[in-house]
Structure 1
Amino acid sequence: MYKLVAIDMDGTLLRSDKTISDRTKKAINDARDKGVTVVLATGRPIEGVSRYLEELDMYTDKDYVLSYNGAFVQKTSTKDVIAKIALKGEDFHYLRSISDDLGVNIHAFSEKYGLVTPKNSTYTELEANINKIDINEMDISVIKDDEVIVKIMMIDEEDVLTEAIEKLPKELYDKYTVVRSSPHFLEFLHKEANKGIGVELLAKHLGVKREEVITLGDAGNDLHMIEYAGLGVAMGNAFDEVKAAANYITDSNDNDGVAKVIEKFILENN
Structure 2
Amino acid sequence: MAATGVPNVLVLDIDGTTVTSQKCVDPDTKDALLQLQKQGIRLILASGRPPEGVYPIARQLRLQQFGGYIVAFNGSKVIEYKTKRCLYEQYLSKETLRSLWYDARCYGLGIMTYGKGKIITASEPDPYVRAESSWSHMPIVLHEDFLKHAPKTIYQCLLTGKPEQLQALNPLLSKLYLGKAEVFHSEPSCLEVTPCRVDKSLGLKKLFCHLDISPSQVVCCGDSYNDIGMLRYAGVGVAMANAPQAVKEFADYVTCRSNDERGIVEVVRRFFPAVLPA
| TM-score, normalised with respect to structure 2 | 0.88
Matched, 1:254 2:254: no
Measured in 1, the distance between the counterparts of 2:87 and 2:172 equals 36
Q: Which residue of 2 aligns with 1:175?
A: 180
SS in 1 for 2:138: coil
* 1:86 partner letter: Y
1:100 is aligned to 105
Q: How does 1:40-189 map to 2 (within 5 A)?
A: 40-60=45-65, 62-110=67-115, 114-122=118-126, 123-138=128-143, 139-142=145-148, 147-165=152-170, 167-168=172-173, 170-189=175-194
Task: Using the TM superposition, give the Cα deviation of residue 97 of structure 1 relative to its aligned residue in structure 2, in angstroms.
Answer: 0.8
Structure 1 pair 120/78, CA: closer, same or farther in 2 (3 Å)? farther
Q: Which runs of 5+ in 2 are unaligned?
A: 1-5
Secondary structure in structure 2 of the residue aligned to 1:19: coil
SS across alignment from 2:202: helix
Matched residues in 1 for 2:165 and 2:209: separation? 40
> Aligned equivalents of 1:78 and 1:114: distance in 2?
22
Give the alignment of 1:8-47 within 5 angstroms: 8-47=13-52
Q: Distance in 1 between matches of 2:19 and 2:174?
A: 34
Contact 1:179 1:186 in 2 (8 A): yes
Give, in angstroms, the shift of residue 135 of structure 1. 2.2
Q: Which moved more, 1:120-129 or 1:193-202?
A: 120-129
The CA RMSD over aligned residues, in Å, is 2.2
Q: Matched residues in 1 for 2:103 and 2:166: separation?
A: 13
Residue identity matched to 1:116: I
Does the CA-based 8 Å contact 1:31-1:267 persist in structure 2? no
Query: What is the CA–CA distance in structure 2 between the aligned matches of 1:87 and 1:172, rounded to whole Å?
Result: 12
| Identity of matched residues, % | 28
Report the alpha carbon displacement of residue 219 of structure 1 after superposing the two structures with TM.
0.4
1:226 aligns with 2:198: no
Contact 1:86 1:193 in 2 (8 A): no
Question: Does the Cα contact within 8 Å between 2:170 and 2:183 map onto a contact in 1?
Answer: no
Letter in 2 for 1:266: F
* Matches of 1:198 and 1:110, distance apart in 2: 21
Secondary structure (helix, strand or coil) at the match of 2:21 reads coil
Number of the residue aligned with 2:3: none
Of the three residues 243, 247, 267, the one matched with 1:242 is 247
